[in-house]
Structure 1
Amino acid sequence: MPGRWDEMALSLLIVALIAAFFFALGIVLTPFGLRAAPPLVGASISVPSSAVFFLLLAPFTLDLGNADGGAILLFALAGVIYPAMVTLLNFAGNLRLGANLAGALGNLTPLFAVGFAVLLLGDIPHPSQLIGVLAVCAGLVIMALDRVRSHPGGALWILLLPLAAALFRGLAQPVVKLGLADWPNAFAASTVSYVVSASMLLLVRRTMVRAPVPRTRGMLWFCVIGISNGLALLFLYTALTMGPVTTVAPVVATYPLMIVVLNRAIHGDRTLSRAAFAGIAISVIGVVLVLTA
């Protein structure tokens, strides 16, 4: 039994870390797209791109014979807020704060996810698991505060953008987990959520914003960003079929650590202070606590 648990924990860890990688990649690539179009226009390209991607895969990944109406409704409900609203908030935060700060601040998601999991699922974390969640968040907050020092006080209200994204992302996870209990298909959850989100964003853009379509290069960047975010969601929901929200959310929450590495590789950002290193170390310790609880 211990050997089987170790194997399951390792599989969950790998899947959750893959989700974290694609979340980080999408955030780090976002500045390339935002050079060509504002956040709403970009989101109305990236999210539908992912929706089309999942719809093209649907004939090979969805067994509608096992579909559950209640699960579909929950996946659609999650899609109203995520990825639609979260993508908009992430793009806006990225534009004003940069990838490192937006990613670090946005990742209080585990606290929100665990809180909503307790309310909606009755998923009570083990005490050492809760300490791990708090450690992950504390490490990320240390990283965020280190970045906040470079922003003027008058702009600090902008920090609410990634915080709101964290709230909505945290809420979506237990809602989807409820649906996965009746239809454990991560492709179905991702497809329904993205179709609903894409429909909302296209409607909002059509009725509220008359911005021109960006050039081909800008559109391609948003398509790549959309596919990256879509894969992140798919692996996140796959991880949720393998374990509880209280385990999955903190591991996926490590994506700001990957943002630091990817920012260095892609944007040449070498600004990593001692505080940031301390935040990384504390977050890693937190993940270990969560997985071994």
Structure 2
Amino acid sequence: MALSAPPAVLLLAFVPALLWGFTPVIEKRALSDGGTPLQAALTVVVVDSAVYLLALALFNPDPFADLTLETVAVFAAAGAVGTAMGRLAIFAGNARVGASISSAAVSSRPLFATALAVGFLGEPLSPPTAVGIVVIVVGLAVLSVSRGGDLSGWTTRDLLVPLAAALLFAAGNVARRWGLGFGEATPLEAVAVNEFAALVALGGYVLATGRKRVAGKPPKTYLVFAASGFITAVALLSMFTALAAPEGRIAVVDPIVATAPLFTVVFSWLWLGGLERVTRGVVVGVVLVVVGAVLVTGGPALIGT
């Protein structure tokens, strides 16, 4: 049976799935210890931006020299919207509904990517995609009544926060794939522009709204968010490299990345027993969302049919 892409591309897409399945768990722990979503988002983007700039200085003596203004603008917009606003929403969702529920809701992003493509680009809606949309909606409904997630309780309205993150990430991923298609930027250059733009956007927001939600938090929370930033740097570079490959289509890469909630459920069950409840409803809802995401973005391509 033929693979949908070379093994290297599939492995590159699997790395962020595993890593982003783990980071919500440690972030939830830090958020419960006094951290805030804005502090988390800013710390993560400061760390991964520093990692990328250092990597560029070491491995690319003349970075960004071949990039046109249009290419830079695409990745900057993706960073300001899909990364800065998206991460802020995902951390807020994690704090409200818990790591397992939030991760599953965010992985519904193919639903929004498809809606954007159908509504604004006039792309057709295939039968597998339509079925996938229904499966995602059912999965989200199951999650909303699962009685799982954050032990302090949450409402269905709280689920809108990670769903907003899914919408923002979907828009960002489509823009990144478009920008990488220009053939000018290396994955490292693309992700560096993306993250620096996110840093500027979040930094500006902090300056405009005050530093109380960022400064003066427990020291260990900064360490956890910094570790998450380093992990995110590896995950993002891996995803960008997969998308930059000729075979790295969204329909191949995004469904694999969208399996992250399956890992989050396992890690939550292992390490968040005092903060979250992983019920059968949570497991069923997560599986439905992941299966729906695979169908929406071209499930047959993943199995070589």
Specify if TM > 0.5.
yes
Q: Which runs of 4+ in 1 moved over 6 A?
A: 119-126, 149-154
- Aligned CA distance change for structure 1 residues 138 and 213 (closer, same or farther; 3 Å): same
d(CA) in 1 for partners of 2:149, 2:20: 24
Deviation string 1:122-173 (CA, Å, 9 cap, x unpaired) is: 8768655x36854873675366235357789983221110010000000011
Q: CA deviation at 1:16?
A: 1.5
Q: CA deviation at 1:25?
A: 1.8
Q: Gaps spanning 5+ residues in structure 2: where?
A: none
Q: Which residue of 2 aligns with 1:78?
A: 78
d(CA) in 2 for partners of 1:289, 1:171: 23
Q: Which residue of 1 aligns with 2:87?
A: 87
Aligned: 1:16 with 2:13: yes
Which moves more between the two structures, 13-22 or 168-177? 13-22
Q: Gaps spanning 5+ residues in structure 1: where?
A: none
d(CA) in 1 for partners of 2:87, 2:53: 19
Q: Which amino acid aligns with 2:37?
A: P
Q: Secondary structure at the match of 1:22?
A: helix
- Aligned CA distance change for structure 1 residues 44 and 281 (closer, same or farther; 3 Å): closer
Q: CA deviation at 1:257?
A: 0.7
Q: Which residue of 1 aligns with 2:200?
A: 199
Which moves more between the two structures, 22-31 or 8-17? 8-17
Is the CA contact 1:133–1:290 (under 8 Å) kept in the aligned structure 2?
no
Deviation string 1:200-249 (CA, Å, 9 cap, x unpaired) is: 21222122123133243221111011222233322222222232223322
Q: Which residue of 2 aligns with 1:276?
A: 283
- Aligned CA distance change for structure 1 residues 249 and 113 (closer, same or farther; 3 Å): farther
Q: Which residue of 2 aligns with 1:99?
A: 99
Deviation string 1:27-74 (CA, Å, 9 cap, x unpaired) is: 111123222322112222221111111111112454534333321110
Q: Which residue of 1 aligns with 2:45?
A: 47
Q: CA deviation at 1:99?
A: 0.5
Q: Which amino acid aligns with 2:167?
A: L
Q: Which residue of 2 aligns with 1:235?
A: 238
Q: Which residue of 2 aligns with 1:145?
A: 144
Aligned: 1:244 with 2:245: no
Superposition TM-score, scaled by structure 2 size: 0.81
Match of 1:217 among 217, 220, 238: 220
Q: Which amino acid aligns with 1:247?
A: V
Which moves more between the two structures, 112-121 or 90-99? 112-121
- Aligned CA distance change for structure 1 residues 140 and 53 (closer, same or farther; 3 Å): farther
Q: Which amino acid aligns with 1:66?
A: D
- Aligned CA distance change for structure 1 residues 277 and 57 (closer, same or farther; 3 Å): same
Q: Which residue of 2 aligns with 1:185?
A: 186
Q: Secondary structure at the match of 2:34?
A: coil
Is the CA contact 1:138–1:283 (under 8 Å) kept in the aligned structure 2?
no
Between the two proteins, what is the percent identity of the paired residues? 26
Superposition TM-score, scaled by structure 1 size: 0.84
Q: CA deviation at 1:85?
A: 0.7
Is the CA contact 2:44–2:229 (under 8 Å) kept in the aligned structure 1?
yes
Q: Which amino acid aligns with 1:104?
A: A
Q: How many correspondences in the alignment?
A: 289
**How large is the Cα RMSD of the aligned pairs?**
3.2
Q: Which residue of 2 aligns with 1:163?
A: 163
d(CA) in 1 for partners of 2:271, 2:154: 30
Is the CA contact 1:41–1:213 (under 8 Å) kept in the aligned structure 2?
no
Q: Which amino acid aligns with 2:249?
A: P
The structure that is helix-richer by fraction is 1
